[in-house]
Amino acid sequence: MNKDVLVSIVIPVYNRENIITETINCAINQTYKNIEIIVSDNCSTDNTLAIIKDLALADNRIKILQNSENLGPVLNWKNCIDHVSGDFVKILWSDDLITENFIEETLKLFTDDCAFVMSAIKHFNGNIENVIFESNYQQRTVYDKDEYLKNILIYNKVVFPVSPGCALFRTKDIKSSFLEEVPNPESLVFKRYGAGNDLLLFIITANKYKYIKVVPQFLSYFRSHSESLTLSNSLDIYYEYAKWYFINNEYRKLIPDFGAKIYFRNLRDSMTYKIMVKYINVKVNLFTKIKYYLLKKVQI
């Protein structure tokens, strides 16, 4: 990969005075040097903005965006992305960390037929050495797009991440795959949490290319804490509506399989899925139900 390629690292942030220095330093210390660091402060009420300004004085690659009002998380992501200049973009959540060689290792795997490049992930609680989860999809470094989509949308036999915080994207793909809201009959406001919006960045982009690639090393570290939006809220239904939106509009060959999945989910939890079952209105035959049940029980 040409070292003249500019990579944009974007950091949307709100009230992270205790950890934002560590996060921004992960970007500053990248071994790949041709980067810009865009930090969008979502009208923080603590000392976050002052800390960012101090860091920017020491590194002119840091560009600060200061919102005059709190836009909510998803529109703050968009604010970052709207201001990037790089050909590639890395979303670095304000409570997460990456290793110093993240950009270098992911960037060099890009080819014309590759949608995005992910690294392996560790989740930690408090101290980075207190690991509570490790990914295993990195056992392979290349996945066919159809295999990837079937897994992440339906069967979940290979547990791929929904957070784009572990991946490097082309800027043009992030921009064209970004959705603020997803149609649904339950008045769910997707820009409130970003659940589903994050997954759509992956799957809409994946559908445009032949492969996705994985760096087998653990280069991404996700912090687990009570203030995390995805941990503090039950958001599964948001993800299922996002998946349905994509399948119904871009990947219709999986409609029967998705219908079978929601059929079984509704059997287990009708309070959550009864409206969705009626909304998607997919007639699932017995063969598809049996196929789904068996494929969930055995390896694909």
pLDDT per residue, tens digit, the chain (300 aa), is 567 899 999 999 999 999 999 999 999 999 999 999 999 999 999 999 999 999 999 999 999 999 999 999 999 999 999 999 999 999 999 999 999 999 999 999 999 999 999 999 999 998 888 999 999 999 999 999 999 999 999 998 899 999 999 999 999 999 999 999 999 999 999 999 999 999 999 999 999 999 999 999 999 999 986 665 554 457 999 999 999 999 999 999 999 999 999 999 999 999 999 999 999 999 999 989 888 888 776 443
Q: How far apart are CA 181 and CA 238, in angstroms?
A: 10
**Of 97, 117, 146, the domain-final residue:** 97
Nearest to 168 by CA among 89, 266, 76: 89
- The tally of domains found in the chain comes to 2
> Measured in Å, how far apart are the chain's first and last C-alpha atoms?
35
Q: Is residue 283 part of a domain?
A: yes
**Of 53, 74, 97, the domain-final residue:** 97
Which residues does residue 120 pair with via DSSP β-bridges, in sequence order? 218
Are residues 142 and 214 in contact, defined by beta-carbon separation less than 8 angstroms?
yes
Q: Is residue 89 part of a domain?
A: yes
Question: Tokens 């694909």 identify what position?
Answer: 300
Q: Is residue 161 part of a domain?
A: no
Q: How far apart are CA 136 and CA 171, in angstroms?
A: 27
Q: How far apart are CA 244 and CA 280, in angstroms?
A: 8
Q: Is residue 133 part of a domain?
A: no
Give the DSSP H or E segment for 106. helix 102-107
Q: Is residue 108 part of a domain?
A: no
**Of 63, 80, 97, the domain-final residue:** 97
- Between CA 84 and CA 90, with CA 88 as vertex, the angle to 5 degrees is 80
- Whole-structure pTM value: 0.93
Q: Is residue 163 part of a domain?
A: no
CATH number at residue 15: 3.90.550.10
Q: Is residue 110 part of a domain?
A: no
Query: What is the residue range of 12's domain?
Result: 1-97
Q: Is residue 116 part of a domain?
A: no
Nearest to 180 by CA among 36, 255, 82, 274: 82
